[in-house]
Amino acid sequence: MINPTDPVVSGTWTTDATDPVLLASELRVVIGQLVRRLRAEHRFSLSQGAVLGRLDREGPQSVSDLALVERVRPQSMAQTVGELEAAALVARRPDPDDRRRALVELTDEGRATLEADRSQREGWLARAIRDELTTDERALVQHAVALLSRLAET
Protein backbone atom coordinates (compact mmCIF):
# COMPACT_ATOMS: atom_id res chain seq x y z
CA MET A 1 0.00 0.00 0.00
CA ILE A 2 1.30 3.45 -0.93
CA ASN A 3 1.56 5.88 1.94
CA PRO A 4 1.42 9.49 0.62
CA THR A 5 2.93 10.80 3.86
CA ASP A 6 6.06 8.67 3.38
CA PRO A 7 8.84 11.23 2.68
CA VAL A 8 10.22 9.05 -0.13
CA VAL A 9 6.86 8.96 -1.88
CA SER A 10 5.86 12.51 -1.12
CA GLY A 11 9.08 14.21 -2.15
CA THR A 12 8.62 17.85 -1.13
CA TRP A 13 5.20 17.36 0.42
CA THR A 14 4.92 20.20 2.92
CA THR A 15 1.24 20.63 3.65
CA ASP A 16 -0.96 18.96 6.19
CA ALA A 17 -3.16 16.78 3.95
CA THR A 18 -6.08 17.32 6.30
CA ASP A 19 -6.10 21.10 5.75
CA PRO A 20 -7.94 21.68 2.45
CA VAL A 21 -6.89 25.34 2.22
CA LEU A 22 -3.17 24.56 2.50
CA LEU A 23 -3.49 21.54 0.22
CA ALA A 24 -5.35 23.59 -2.39
CA SER A 25 -2.65 26.26 -2.27
CA GLU A 26 0.17 23.79 -2.76
CA LEU A 27 -1.75 21.95 -5.47
CA ARG A 28 -2.33 25.22 -7.35
CA VAL A 29 1.38 26.03 -7.25
CA VAL A 30 2.46 22.57 -8.39
CA ILE A 31 -0.13 22.39 -11.17
CA GLY A 32 1.01 25.83 -12.33
CA GLN A 33 4.61 24.63 -12.51
CA LEU A 34 3.60 21.53 -14.44
CA VAL A 35 1.43 23.54 -16.84
CA ARG A 36 4.30 25.98 -17.50
CA ARG A 37 6.64 23.06 -18.19
CA LEU A 38 4.12 21.44 -20.54
CA ARG A 39 3.49 24.80 -22.22
CA ALA A 40 7.21 25.04 -22.96
CA GLU A 41 6.82 21.79 -24.94
CA HIS A 42 3.73 23.09 -26.81
CA ARG A 43 3.66 24.32 -30.40
CA PHE A 44 0.61 26.50 -29.76
CA SER A 45 -1.25 28.18 -26.91
CA LEU A 46 -2.99 26.19 -24.22
CA SER A 47 -6.44 27.27 -25.43
CA GLN A 48 -5.61 26.31 -29.01
CA GLY A 49 -4.29 22.94 -27.83
CA ALA A 50 -7.46 22.35 -25.82
CA VAL A 51 -9.65 23.06 -28.87
CA LEU A 52 -7.58 20.86 -31.18
CA GLY A 53 -7.57 18.04 -28.64
CA ARG A 54 -11.32 18.26 -28.06
CA LEU A 55 -12.05 18.27 -31.80
CA ASP A 56 -9.78 15.25 -32.22
CA ARG A 57 -11.45 13.32 -29.38
CA GLU A 58 -15.07 14.37 -29.91
CA GLY A 59 -15.35 15.40 -33.56
CA PRO A 60 -16.75 18.57 -35.13
CA GLN A 61 -18.46 21.08 -32.83
CA SER A 62 -19.82 24.59 -33.02
CA VAL A 63 -17.92 27.52 -31.56
CA SER A 64 -20.69 27.89 -28.96
CA ASP A 65 -20.40 24.25 -27.91
CA LEU A 66 -16.61 24.53 -27.67
CA ALA A 67 -16.93 27.68 -25.55
CA LEU A 68 -19.38 25.96 -23.23
CA VAL A 69 -17.26 22.86 -22.58
CA GLU A 70 -14.02 24.85 -22.30
CA ARG A 71 -15.73 27.34 -19.97
CA VAL A 72 -14.80 30.46 -21.92
CA ARG A 73 -16.82 33.26 -23.49
CA PRO A 74 -18.04 32.55 -27.04
CA GLN A 75 -16.13 35.64 -28.24
CA SER A 76 -12.87 34.24 -26.83
CA MET A 77 -13.53 30.87 -28.45
CA ALA A 78 -14.33 32.55 -31.77
CA GLN A 79 -10.93 34.27 -31.61
CA THR A 80 -9.14 31.00 -30.79
CA VAL A 81 -10.94 29.18 -33.62
CA GLY A 82 -10.13 32.07 -35.97
CA GLU A 83 -6.42 31.78 -35.15
CA LEU A 84 -6.53 28.02 -35.74
CA GLU A 85 -8.42 28.54 -38.98
CA ALA A 86 -5.85 31.10 -40.17
CA ALA A 87 -3.13 28.50 -39.50
CA ALA A 88 -5.14 25.92 -41.53
CA LEU A 89 -5.42 23.65 -38.48
CA VAL A 90 -9.25 23.74 -38.42
CA ALA A 91 -11.96 24.46 -40.97
CA ARG A 92 -15.60 25.48 -40.66
CA ARG A 93 -18.42 23.77 -42.52
CA PRO A 94 -22.19 24.11 -42.36
CA ASP A 95 -23.94 21.95 -39.77
CA PRO A 96 -25.97 19.39 -41.77
CA ASP A 97 -28.73 19.50 -39.12
CA ASP A 98 -28.92 23.30 -38.87
CA ARG A 99 -27.58 25.20 -41.89
CA ARG A 100 -27.53 28.43 -39.84
CA ARG A 101 -24.78 26.98 -37.66
CA ALA A 102 -21.18 26.19 -38.57
CA LEU A 103 -19.19 23.26 -37.24
CA VAL A 104 -15.48 23.46 -36.61
CA GLU A 105 -13.42 20.40 -37.52
CA LEU A 106 -9.76 19.44 -37.66
CA THR A 107 -8.04 19.60 -41.01
CA ASP A 108 -5.53 16.94 -42.02
CA GLU A 109 -2.78 19.45 -41.24
CA GLY A 110 -4.38 20.14 -37.85
CA ARG A 111 -4.51 16.44 -37.02
CA ALA A 112 -0.85 15.94 -38.03
CA THR A 113 0.26 19.02 -36.08
CA LEU A 114 -1.68 17.91 -33.01
CA GLU A 115 -0.17 14.43 -33.19
CA ALA A 116 3.37 15.83 -33.46
CA ASP A 117 2.69 18.19 -30.54
CA ARG A 118 1.29 15.36 -28.41
CA SER A 119 4.28 13.19 -29.14
CA GLN A 120 6.64 15.96 -28.08
CA ARG A 121 4.75 16.82 -24.88
CA GLU A 122 3.90 13.27 -23.91
CA GLY A 123 7.46 12.26 -24.72
CA TRP A 124 8.80 14.69 -22.13
CA LEU A 125 6.19 13.78 -19.55
CA ALA A 126 6.48 10.03 -20.15
CA ARG A 127 10.27 10.24 -19.87
CA ALA A 128 10.02 12.27 -16.67
CA ILE A 129 7.56 9.78 -15.16
CA ARG A 130 9.71 6.84 -16.22
CA ASP A 131 13.06 8.31 -15.16
CA GLU A 132 12.12 10.29 -12.04
CA LEU A 133 9.45 8.19 -10.34
CA THR A 134 9.56 4.76 -8.74
CA THR A 135 6.91 2.16 -9.55
CA ASP A 136 5.09 3.03 -6.31
CA GLU A 137 5.23 6.74 -7.15
CA ARG A 138 3.83 6.08 -10.63
CA ALA A 139 0.93 4.18 -9.04
CA LEU A 140 0.35 7.14 -6.73
CA VAL A 141 0.33 9.54 -9.71
CA GLN A 142 -2.16 7.27 -11.48
CA HIS A 143 -4.47 7.48 -8.46
CA ALA A 144 -3.94 11.26 -8.22
CA VAL A 145 -4.91 11.69 -11.88
CA ALA A 146 -8.27 10.07 -11.19
CA LEU A 147 -8.82 12.30 -8.17
CA LEU A 148 -7.77 15.46 -10.03
CA SER A 149 -10.09 14.53 -12.87
CA ARG A 150 -12.95 14.32 -10.38
CA LEU A 151 -12.04 17.75 -8.99
CA ALA A 152 -11.90 19.23 -12.51
CA GLU A 153 -15.48 18.10 -13.15
CA THR A 154 -16.91 19.91 -10.11
Domain that holds residue 65: 46-107
Per-residue pLDDT reduced to its tens digit, 3-36: 555 444 455 555 566 889 999 999 999 999 988 8
For position 71, which CATH number holds? 1.10.10.10
pLDDT digits (tens, 9 = 90+) for 57-108: 999 999 999 999 999 999 999 999 999 999 999 999 999 999 899 999 999 9
Q: What is the DSSP string of 59-126?
A: --B-HHHHHHHHTS-HHHHHHHHHHHHHTTSEEEEEETTEEEEEEEEE-HHHHHHHHHHHHHHHHHHH
Instruction: Kindly report the pTM of this predicted structure.
Output: 0.62
Query: Is residue 68 included in any domain, yes or no?
Result: yes
> Is residue 91, in this structure, part of any structural domain at all?
yes
Q: How far apart are CA 86 and CA 138, in angstroms?
A: 40
Assigned domain for 133 exists: no
Task: List C-alpha distances in Å: 115 to 53, 101, 105, 110, 123.
Answer: 9, 28, 15, 8, 12
